[in-house]
Amino acid sequence: MDTPQTIRQSNLSPPLNTPQATVVEISQQKEQASEEERTHIGEGIYINTNQWKRVQGNSKDSLFVKELAVCIWGTNILANRSLEGKSCPTTKTTPRPPLTPHKLRALKNCFQKWLETKNLEEFELRTRAGKFGRYVTEKIQDINKKQKKTKSISTLFVI
């Protein structure tokens, strides 16, 4: 008896000269193209190659970290997470879950390598790399401020 995978393939494969075969071939080509358009940035994380090129073209450290964070997690996930999962010391709110450790590590490693391409002195490199966490938390705060502002504006126009 065939394995379930083999059965599924033989049952779903259309004859090669049908329109369905063309659709299958096109979808396979799109999958291959999408794989080619993605760049591995470390820790098993892949992002769109065009986004990666744009991020690498930044001249500011903060923009590099913030834009790459959005590429990795997206704004919806960043808005509901924190850097380390700690509660805010000023508002005493319930702590949000921390960012995924291996993705955070990939982001930090990319930032470190990007800084190393800048030919900085060791002290300057360490100082700038030390601001990594601040940049990530600033991005999370920026997203949350923008969402709060959007909510307050939309409530003004509710009839």
pLDDT tens digits for range 113-140: 999 999 999 999 999 999 999 999 999 9
Could you tell me which of 138, 129, 100, 118 has the C-alpha nearest to residue 56?
Answer: 118
Q: CB neighbours of 61 closer than 8 A, spacing ≥ 6?
A: 111, 115, 128, 131, 135
Distance of CA 24 to the CA centre of its chain: 29
At residue 92, φ and ψ (nearest 5 deg) are 55, 35
| CA atoms of 114 and 109, how far apart (whole Å) | 8
Query: Which pLDDT band, with edges at 50, 70 and 90, does 152 fall under?
Result: low
Average pLDDT of span 62-70: 98
Average pLDDT of span 82-111: 90
Could you tell me which of 145, 121, 132 has the C-alpha nearest to residue 64?
Answer: 132
Chain mean pLDDT for the chain: 81
- Percent pLDDT > 70 in the chain is 72
CB 99 within 8 A of CB 83: yes
Query: Which pLDDT band, with edges at 50, 70 and 90, does 147 fall under?
Result: confident
